[in-house]
A = this chain, B = another copy of it.
Amino acid sequence: MEKIYGMKHGIKGFLRGDNVVLNEILDTEEKVELLKRTPASFLGSCRYKLPEISDDSEIYMQIFSRLQSMDVKYFLYVGGNDSMDTIKKLSDYAKLVNSDICFMGVPKTIDNDLALTDHSPGFGSCAKYIATAVRELVCDCRVYDVEAVTILEIMGRNAGWLTASAALARSEDCEGADLIYLPETVFDIDDFLKKVKDLAAKKHSVVVAISEGIKVADGRFVCELGDENAAVDAFGHKMMSGSGKYLENRIKQELKGIKCRSIELSTLQRCASHFASLTDINEAFLVGSEAVKAALNGETGKVVILKRESDSPYRCTTENMDVHGIANVEKTVPLKWITDGYVTEEAVNYIRPLIQGELTQFIENGVPKLIRL
């Protein structure tokens, strides 16, 4: 029987020989269905960046020698910008050494910051949870009859897609967030405080959604204003938290008499599979299976992207594109979709189709059943 290996913790686990045989593990349809309902990465993930081929080819020799010894013909890698960088480098190296192994990228990131593709699997489910949670929080916030500001801090370092999803909370039955701030535009703290003050004079509960990565005019992150010593991860990204907390403190200091609370949606927002978007899960399977087809057809150095054919009715097809166009490019929210403290109807219309539909959960003992490796 042919084997479909799964690398535990990505290329990092592969280098240690830490692989499983997926077609043995996921040997029933029920298990595949559970996988659709299990959050996070079933196989694990890594924060490991391959060196440039010209800097260190040793590691590439190791990888390809291991691939050959395992008789691997097709190599699919699922992930965001960093994973696409891995596919780009491995397919480049394959060309260099005349290897016929096919390398295909499969997009997946809640951040939705991949170029070329209309959107990335993972984003729709996260956006659905955020829109739902914001609606619920708006109800919760208006319970007391006192002037109160609630700041919701949503993931997104440089791309505000997830925070923009907060706009989907607004409808006839819920006013949604009053203000929305993305990292794509400069965040003006004085103007923010003024807007909050004006709103608090009109309605007793003010709800604000901000990206964790909002920045002031000099380029510093708002969260850095409180603490200059933010740590850095393996990819050189600043590890942040606290923009909401910083603004909460400013409001408490400068807008006396107004209560303020900040809430980090934290990792809860990215693993709420109990309320995943069916559209999103279906598209995740679509891009995966298209990548398999492409690899079997001998394609390599490509990524399967989603191409939106129509908004209403929503229709998306796929296309295979050169991975060089996607690796290390960060797609942010178009500036024309961002207004002074909110987002436009275009942003809402773009995101709305991606949060449609739900999966029936397999409930056991009152909680959704999961699958674990």
When distances are taken between beta carbons in the complex, the residues of chain B under 8 Å from A341 are: none
When distances are taken between beta carbons in the complex, the residues of chain B under 8 Å from A366 are: 128, 131, 168, 277, 352, 355-357
The interface-forming segment of A34-42, A67-75, A186-194 is A34-42
Question: Digit string of A342-373 for contact with B (CB within 8 Å is 1, else 0)?
Answer: 00000000001001111001011111111110
Asked whether B40 lies within 8 Å of A271 as measured between CB atoms, the reply is no
The interface-forming segment of A94-102, A218-226, A258-266 is A258-266
Asked whether A135 lies within 8 Å of B370 as measured between CB atoms, the reply is yes
Q: How far is the CB of A116 from chain B (nearest CB, A)?
A: 25
Question: Digit string of A258-300 for contact with B (CB within 8 Å is 1, else 0)?
Answer: 0001011111101111110100000000000000000000000
Within 8 A of B (CB), among A147-197: 168-169, 171, 173-174
B44, B132, B357: the one contacting A145 at CB < 8 Å is B44
Do most interface residues of chain A lie in helix, strand or loop, or is the interface mixed? Answer: mixed
Chain B residue at minimum C-beta to C-beta distance from A348: B365
Asked whether B267 lies within 8 Å of A140 as measured between CB atoms, the reply is yes
* In the bound complex, CA of A171 to CA of B34 (Å): 15
* In the bound complex, CA of A183 to CA of B358 (Å): 37
B143, B168, B268, B367: the one contacting A137 at CB < 8 Å is B268
Asked whether A171 lies within 8 Å of B132 as measured between CB atoms, the reply is no
* In the bound complex, CA of A208 to CA of B137 (Å): 25
A136 interfacial contact with B, CB 8 Å: yes
Please list 16 pairs of residues, one from A and one from B, whose beta carbons are closer than 8 Å in the complex, sorted by A's number. Answer: A40-B140, A44-B142, A44-B145, A128-B367, A131-B367, A133-B268, A136-B271, A137-B267, A137-B268, A171-B364, A171-B365, A263-B266, A263-B268, A277-B366, A352-B366, A355-B367
Chain B residue at minimum C-beta to C-beta distance from A241: B261
B38, B144, B367, B371: the one contacting A9 at CB < 8 Å is B144
Chain B residue at minimum C-beta to C-beta distance from A272: B136
Q: How many residues of chain A are within 8 Å of chain B by beta carbon?
A: 61
Chain A residues within 8 Å of B, Cβ to Cβ:
8-9, 12-13, 38-41, 44-47, 128, 131-133, 135-137, 139-145, 168-169, 171, 173-174, 261, 263-268, 270-275, 277, 352, 355-358, 361, 363-372
Chain B residue at minimum C-beta to C-beta distance from A363: B358
Asked whether A275 lies within 8 Å of B274 as measured between CB atoms, the reply is yes
Asked whether B267 lies within 8 Å of A263 as measured between CB atoms, the reply is yes
B38, B145, B173, B274: the one contacting A13 at CB < 8 Å is B145
Asked whether A44 lies within 8 Å of B144 as measured between CB atoms, the reply is yes
* In the bound complex, CA of A358 to CA of B360 (Å): 11
When distances are taken between beta carbons in the complex, the residues of chain B under 8 Å from A271 are: 136-137, 139-140
Q: How far is the CB of A240 from chain B (nearest CB, A)?
A: 12
* In the bound complex, CA of A266 to CA of B142 (Å): 16
Q: How far is the CB of A17 from chain B (nearest CB, A)?
A: 14
Asked whether B268 lies within 8 Å of A368 as measured between CB atoms, the reply is no
Q: How far is the CB of A15 from chain B (nearest CB, A)?
A: 12
When distances are taken between beta carbons in the complex, the residues of chain B under 8 Å from A171 are: 364-365, 367
Asked whether B173 lies within 8 Å of A370 as measured between CB atoms, the reply is yes
A38, A168, A267, A352 — most chain B CB neighbours (10 Å): A267
The 3 closest A-B pairs by CB, nearest first: A355-B366, A140-B271, A136-B271
Asked whether B371 lies within 8 Å of A274 as measured between CB atoms, the reply is no
Asked whether A367 lies within 8 Å of B135 as measured between CB atoms, the reply is yes
When distances are taken between beta carbons in the complex, the residues of chain B under 8 Å from A168 are: 365-367
When distances are taken between beta carbons in the complex, the residues of chain B under 8 Å from A38 are: 139
When distances are taken between beta carbons in the complex, the residues of chain B under 8 Å from A132 are: 274, 367-368
